Amino acid sequence: MFSGIAARPVIVGSIGNFVEFFDWTIYAYMAPIFAKSYFPAHDPVVSLLLAFMVLALGFVVRPLGAFLFGLYSDRRGRRNAMSLSVLGMAFSCLCIGLCPDYDRIGIAAPIALLIARLVQGLCTGGEGGSAVTYLLEFAPPRRRALLASFQQLSTGLATLSALAISAGLGEYLSQGDMFAYGWRLPFILGAVMGLVGLYLRFNAEETPVFRAAKEHGHILKFLAREWRVTILVVAMAMSPSISFLAWQIYFPTYLALATDIPRNHALELNMVGVAAFLVTMIPMAILSDRIGRKPLLIVYAVGAILLTFPTFWLLPRLHGMMAATVVCLLGNILLAIMAPALVSGMCEVFSTRVRATGFGLAYAVALVLTSSTFPALATTLVGRHSYATIAAIVCAVGAVSLVSYIIMPESNRKPLDATLYADEAGSGA
């Protein structure tokens, strides 16, 4: 099953993604704790909303990061771009972990937090395209989804680690200690992990596909020729980006706001869901390498649309741990069905000259269109008890992605140095 796969490229390609999602997830889980310290307001929901808006602004700059880092990656190599991105993520983690609160430095506190999130957003935008491309270009032809799945495995492991640390800190530290310093510890840990990632990447080798490419210039020209692929990938990524947030990142906060389930119980429940995601993903990656990307993506999209109603309309009315467990498990299994096929499929449709730029930019644009505003929007709608509106938004986005999965060409047998469209292949791609 893992024959022909070297361990070092997997670790090098995945560690930055681990740090990225660890940081994003910790921010989402710790926001209810530090929100009022940086965004003081009479209503704690308003403070939390402002904290999530800063998170959203980090998403907004991701396309710029994807574009800049992608150009650098497609011109100078995957390894160099990944080293720079993980360094920036380590820096932003450290800044958040050490930043004084509003009572000490006033308005400079939320501004510093915002700057750190913007730096992290830029680097995260660049990380996705370069890291997935790095993994895919090291993969044997019949193992591309399997190797690309390690990028998603690192996402799940980062989320699980963030959940475990959040729950553990809440269990062993008093509420006063959590507000005083406890929430900072995971960010400092993220900075240390980022420096470890920098060391590993700085000493890594470049991918054989990139080394074999004859030309790396005129990237913007080649990207313009693959505009249809870029639009397709944006549509493909829209529903998954919301689904990851809904069932892995935002779910504990949502349960705490919309039901009577305690926050720590919600975190523990989410750990079970993410564990199910990790266990299911490798078999789904192997299946995708055998039957293709399209079938699994269509199954995911239909399932995600059907699960939207129980998640955003039924749970607030049931208030039960059993119902929340079922929804959490089903959601994470759907994510595992989708993740390997999505990541490999989105990357495979681009040619080598623009793979990191195209994938990173399209994925970042999808995140801006969907995930950037989802936590803040969902928090606002939950405060108004407008659960049906949340469900309608998620279903509409799911329908867009479902259409893209139906019309997308199958890519699991496509050579990595080719493009899916014949007219582009003849015009310089």
Q: What pLDDT, on the 0 to 100 scale, is given for residue 379? A: 78
Q: CB within 8 A of 309, min separation 6: which ones?
A: 391
Task: Kindly state the tokens that stand for 383.
Answer: 């405060």
Q: What pLDDT, on the 0 to 100 scale, is given for residue 416? A: 67
Q: What pLDDT, on the 0 to 100 scale, is given for residue 417? A: 61
Q: What pLDDT, on the 0 to 100 scale, is given for residue 77? A: 80
Q: What pLDDT, on the 0 to 100 scale, is given for residue 12? A: 85
Spatial separation of the C-alpha atoms in residues 136 and 123, rounded to whole Å = 20
Q: What pLDDT, on the 0 to 100 scale, is given for residue 187? A: 92
Question: Between helices 144-172 and 321-348, what is the axis angle to 10°?
Answer: 140
Q: What pLDDT, on the 0 to 100 scale, is given for residue 56? A: 76
Which residue is associated with the tokens 């390997």?
340
Instruction: Return the number of other C-beta atoms located less than 10 Å from residue 312's C-beta.
Output: 26
pLDDT along the chain (429 residues), means of 10: 63 84 82 83 75 80 84 82 89 91 88 90 82 79 81 83 85 86 91 91 80 60 74 93 85 83 84 90 92 95 92 79 90 93 86 77 83 77 84 92 93 64 39
Q: Judge contact between 378 and 254, C-beta under 8 A.
A: yes
Half-sphere exposure of 210 (CA within 13 A, CB side): 24
Assign domain 7-425 to its CATH architecture. Up-down Bundle (1.20)
Q: How far is CA 230 from CA 397, 404, 427, in A?
A: 17, 12, 17
